[in-house]
Amino acid sequence: MRIIGGQHRGLRLADPGAGDPRAHLRPTPDRVREAVFNMLSGGAYGDPLTGARVLDLFAGTGALGLEALSRGAAQVTFVDHGAAARALIRENIARLRAMGCTRLFRRDATRLGENRGPAFGLVFLDPPYGQGLGAQALAAARAGGWLTRDALVVWEESAPQPAPAGFSLCDQRRYGDTHVTVLRHSGVADARADG
């Protein structure tokens, strides 16, 4: 695994080995990550990366959030409750020397609780496939004030996902056995959303 583009292009990330089936650690392949970021930078969504506050839920290795940092995001918050995942994320943050612009939470993404800081405009969502956890995580993010009014969500799953309440469907694409659903948050955010 490596960073595909931007300031840290070519930087090798920590090897997750065969992943961690018990923790559902399933890194996004480089080709899928490249396709996702080409879609984000293609102009259809404006410029969702430059200066963005990014929330990476079920972060796994952290590759999606770190790719966003390499391409101009200002800050990334990683959320994962797995010990193996958090160790990989910490190692990858160190490889990018990104300690000052990242945060790592040991937390269940489906039970985020209240956000105590500014909201996030770009969300990566890569839950264990086929368990319905993505919709639960988005509901928790909305309820806790984690999302800006028009936050963009990039959701990886084993099948196309319908837009849950408070979100509108923007795009769906298939890359092998991975389906990427892009959503726009259309709900009301609290006063921290633009902070």
Residue 92 is part of a domain; what is its CATH number? Answer: 3.40.50.150
Q: Kind and range of the H or E element at 87?
A: helix 83-96
119 within a domain of the structure (yes/no)? yes
8 within a domain of the structure (yes/no)? no
CA-based nearest residue to 20, from 75, 82, 74, 69? 82
Q: Is 81 exposed, middle or buried (0-12, 13-18, 19+ CB in 10 A)?
A: middle
Residue 50 gets which letter from DSSP? T
Q: Is 33 exposed, middle or buried (0-12, 13-18, 19+ CB in 10 A)?
A: buried
Spatial separation of the C-alpha atoms in residues 10 and 112, rounded to whole Å: 33
- Name the residue range of residue 123's domain: 21-194
Give the distance from CA 67 to its chain's centroid: 10
Q: Give the strands of the sheet with 53-57, arranged side by side.
A: 102-105, 75-79, 53-57, 120-125, 147-157, 178-185, 167-175
5 within a domain of the structure (yes/no)? no
62 within a domain of the structure (yes/no)? yes
- Give the 3-state secondary structure of residue 8: coil
12 within a domain of the structure (yes/no)? no
| Predicted local confidence at residue 119, as pLDDT | 97
Spatial separation of the C-alpha atoms in residues 98 and 66, rounded to whole Å: 9
| Predicted local confidence at residue 1, as pLDDT | 84
3 within a domain of the structure (yes/no)? no
Rounded (10°) CA dihedral 84, 86, 89, 93: -140
Spatial separation of the C-alpha atoms in residues 167 and 191, rounded to whole Å: 19
| Predicted local confidence at residue 191, as pLDDT | 37
75 within a domain of the structure (yes/no)? yes
Q: Is 86 exposed, middle or buried (0-12, 13-18, 19+ CB in 10 A)?
A: buried
Domains in the chain, number:
1
| Predicted local confidence at residue 194, as pLDDT | 43
Low-confidence ranges of the chain (pLDDT < 70): 17-26, 187-195
| Predicted local confidence at residue 193, as pLDDT | 40
pTM, two decimal places:
0.90
| Predicted local confidence at residue 185, as pLDDT | 96
